[in-house]
Structure 1
């Protein structure tokens, strides 16, 4: 089967051919015709199978006839992240170049006034994240009553990010007679409930078993230790034929610290995570796609659904907390018929997470033992756990232990038997009285000096005085003894 057999228009077929594609992927072959027939659709497909084109291509032909009205988009595509929304917009530009369709992108981190101006002109395709769409709707800047086609993409990720209530509210503001397409890599109960509520007699397709991984991806678990993870990762990056790689970490702080560590060790790396401004994230992705950097350290949310050609390796610096995230992560490689490799660094604490992943994917992932190495990274750089950093910043008791510095030999080992109070000089006895004066004074206890006896001023003790002290004289020994 080829694209010409699916009923697409000549203009769309021309754009597909110029993009270098001749045969549809399984999900495209199964989904395009039902969408063109205006059927509701539930598509269960693992990442990297070409599902974006499976709704973009038929939507272009469906929207080719008709006219957009101000503030009333004709179709709506909901995406969980800014990056996915921008990626779908790129697909519309590429495949819709021979159609006169207007498009608007509603995402956070971008000037809202420009987005409102685009909506005022009227758009055929509105691509949005739920948060920004609800914001503009509540401001009265957009009407959804003219939207006849809704796409809910990455529905399981929408669930993970807490967007399901927003999606339900958005659906209530759309015409009841619309066409709805739902795409997801997995089908947990809340997504099934959403589909039952808002889709009308949908056709369901499933091109890969839920939770399965791409057979073209070579997977391995690499045993290491918490302190040796960075060195183990660097060893893998050097040993493997890494052309381009994405490294996943569970925390944003880990993403930042790992990227800095790689750069210090000579790797051309960059980073994307949720704390970055949208413009900065786009800039890093552009650098990665252009080859200015060949390693991208990312968090799950920032990299979800990224379609970047030619990624040869995926490294899970942290084992993912959720097993379905493992499927999405490694799906960044081995795309569009290419092969790839995925390595997951594991420690003893990851046993439960790995067991859940192997249960979901129904496979035993091969292990590489003996890969742990002692950390040799910059000698001055301590290995600091992200949690410890947060505790320290918050004023907690947890601190990184540092060795005491010696000041040029000061604070040397204490002498085994230090003199009591550093051997203060003895006080001089009072001068004897003449025999002719008065009878001899009564004996005075040796431990008590005569009352008001004059005391000579003690001279400062020289630094080299032999007082059984092997270091510099403390400051208090050089002070004058008060009268």
Structure 2
């Protein structure tokens, strides 16, 4: 069996690996490290949780052992799709390079440009960044990429999903043609394959598992729920989720719960807290400091349930996650593989539970086609029943939104009905009879002929009344003065207002 000592790594790197408690490399590490040390390009295809980060960090530290960094010109570049993954790569670099003098800088959003500029100005050996923040620094003239010797693209398929491929292609064009490229992806979409053909030169291809396969250490379950009311689907799913968590008992030491939308993440986290479960949300709209604080709390056990969007689906190294719950079926089949890959890591057992409704059938079909297996169906926990509140109409009356702009009475009702917290409506305030009569009078779609005639007569009368007034005004202007005193300002009318305007005759 291959050991790290057989891979020709720097002795200082081997010392750090031994202190971290590792002896045997994973398949992706054993396959990628030797060609990387030879200076070859590497194309690594492996599912999440297989040790890809160390497979490029270890040879990078060894290769960069000789040489010095220059100001604003990093010697190597690591691109990651999310802030969390970039921060995790930086942590791994710190662990494995602690016996060397290599320096690093982390460029991610949510952090001051000034502090990052100071690090770059000093010169760094390893620059770890998200594509957007890296290009921000470059366009501000604070960074040069002409000195990059090694370039790493991590989670390339996630880059594709997030729309970073144009940025990646631009960054490739800014780096030297002679660079060494280490390219990692869990799946090989046609767009990813096009990039590898364009920017990698005869790469060593290391594929340690069939593309888009799930780990055998993960027990997968699918619970199908048919909502009794379409407008209460989310509430009924939350009740089922709590029942599943309760049924798991102590076996569920911690869990990541995935939602498709950021708003749903916040709602689910708040609901779990309300029912006494220790939960915290994490998604892209939160401040970076808050996201890191939440992740640290989940790692140290102070947060039991991490409610996340797909920002946390890939690359996060949290080895001891016992369960993953898909509150929403992912709309992209590849995301299912990466979500459930958060559990069952490093040989541990894990459980992945997905809640699906009939509306999710097309997404389930895509997932089962991708993983080439039928997801095991299981029943809801024994004794689970929906509450009466989940089967009643929502507290907010849907008719109000539908009648907006058409029913004047409903607007007046909303104006006179104060709203209490949590959507509970207070009793209506008394409304005067005159207002009620004016707002509740039924509208007639087709006016009666006699009323139509009277309306036309009134319009004609008004026109005839306006014409004499216009004539009088025109005559008065022609005379150059007023023939009537100003009326309506009492006894204190200024003299100049009583005087007529004199016009000069030409």
TM-score by length of 2: 0.75
Q: Which runs of 5+ in 1 are unaligned?
A: 409-483
* Contact 1:272 1:303 (8 Å CA) reproduced: no
1:264 paired residue number: 274
Q: Quickly say closer, same or farther: Cα 1:376–1:33, change in 2 above 3 A.
A: farther
Superposed displacement of residue 211, structure 1: 1.2
Q: Which runs of 5+ in 2 are unaligned?
A: 228-232, 430-506
Match of 2:376 in 1: 366
Q: Does 1:311 align with 2:312?
A: no
1:331 maps to 2:341? yes
Aligned ranges for residues 26-45 of structure 1 at < 5 Å? 26-45=27-46
Partner of 1:211: 212
Give the corresponding residue for 2:189.
188
Alignment of 1:425-464 (within 5 A): none
Q: Aligned residue for 1:250?
A: 260
Which one of 229, 236, 239 corresponds to residue 228 of structure 1? 236
Partners of 2:146 and 2:196 lie apart in 1 by 20
Matches within 5 A, 1:129-144: 129-144=130-145
Q: Report Cα offsets for 1:409-430 as digits up to 9, x if no partner.
A: xxxxxxxxxxxxxxxxxxxxxx
Contact 1:32 1:58 in 2 (8 A): yes
Partner of 1:473: none
Q: Secondary structure of 1:176's match?
A: coil
Per the alignment, residue 474 of structure 1 pairs with none
**Structure 1 residues 177 and 253, CA gap change in structure 2 (3 angstroms):** same
Q: Deviations over 1:12-62 (max 9, x none)?
A: 111111112111111111111111111101000000111111101111111
**In structure 2, how many angstroms separate the alpha carbons of the residues matched to 1:65 and 1:129?**
26
- 1:448 alignment partner in structure 2: none
Partner of 1:128: 129
Deviation per CA, 1:292-315: give whole Å up to 9, x if none.
111100000244321112000000
Match of 1:146 in 2: 147
Partner residue in 1 for 2:200: 199
**363-372 vs 160-169, which deviates more?**
363-372
Structure 2 counterpart of 1:289, from 293, 296, 299: 299
* Partners of 2:72 and 2:405 in 1: CA distance: 50
CA distance in 2, matches of 1:337, 1:64: 33
- The 5 Å alignment of 1:341-420 reads 341-371=351-381, 373-375=385-387, 382=394
* CA 93–169 in structure 1, closer or farther in 2 if over 3 Å, else same: same
The Cα of 1:172 is off from its aligned counterpart by 0.7
CA contact (8 A) 1:231 1:377 kept: no
Number of residue-to-residue matches in the alignment: 403
Q: Which of 1 and 2 has greater Rg?
A: 1
Whole-angstrom CA distance in 2 between matches of 1:275 and 1:330: 23
CA distance in 2, matches of 1:264, 1:78: 39
Contact 1:270 1:295 in 2 (8 A): yes
**Higher share in helix:** 2
Runs of 4+ in 1 over 6 A off after TM superposition: 376-381, 394-400, 402-408
Q: 1:302 to 1:377 in 2, by over 3 A?
A: farther
Residue 3 (structure 1) aligns with = 4
